[in-house]
Amino acid sequence: MKITTDNITKYTDLFADLYTAVDAKDADGVVRHVADDVTFKLGNFDQLTGRTIVKDANVAFFDTISGMHHTITGIWESGPMAFCEGLVRYTRKDLSEYEVPFATRLEIRSNEIKDYRIFVDISEL
């Protein structure tokens, strides 16, 4: 995980910690930041609700790839909403790579992620 933006917000550390866990394929590290009743949506997959279900979905997704690396090029905030965008480079199981833009929107409630939306095209994985 790498952050290249100069725009620092109160959520920069959250994004850094969250995407460090994602790139490490650490589902426990990801869900450490989410509320018990979190809603989660990745790309075109169905929306999920609940910390345990989100953890299981992340474990399942992480098992489909060899690795990934996020570069965050922008971070913004508006009230309880935090946004980031950048590039993610996936390493497939055959070790070929796929790089694509992504954007994430988080709704924060009581210092936890209440709603977690990732906009990315993973159709080539």
Residues 65-94: what's their mean pLDDT?
Answer: 98
Assign 104 a pLDDT band (cuts: 50, 70, 90). very high
Check residue 3 and give its pLDDT.
Answer: 97
Domains located in the chain, CATH noted:
2-120 (3.10.450.50)
Q: What is the pTM of this model?
A: 0.95
Per-residue pLDDT averaged across 25-35, rounded?
A: 97
Number of neighbouring beta carbons within 10 Å of residue 10: 10
Q: What is the mean pLDDT of the chain?
A: 97
Residue 15 — very low, low, confident or very high, per pLDDT cuts 50/70/90? very high
Give the model's confidence band at 95: pLDDT under 50 very low, under 70 low, under 90 confident, else very high: very high
Other Cβ atoms closer than 10 A to 56:
14
CA distances from 96 to 25, 70, 73 (A): 18, 16, 24
Quick one: pLDDT at residue 33?
A: 95
For the segment 68-80, the average pLDDT, to the nearest whole number, is 97
Q: What local confidence, expressed as pLDDT, does residue 39 receive? A: 98
Q: Which two tokens stand for residue 55?
A: 């953890």
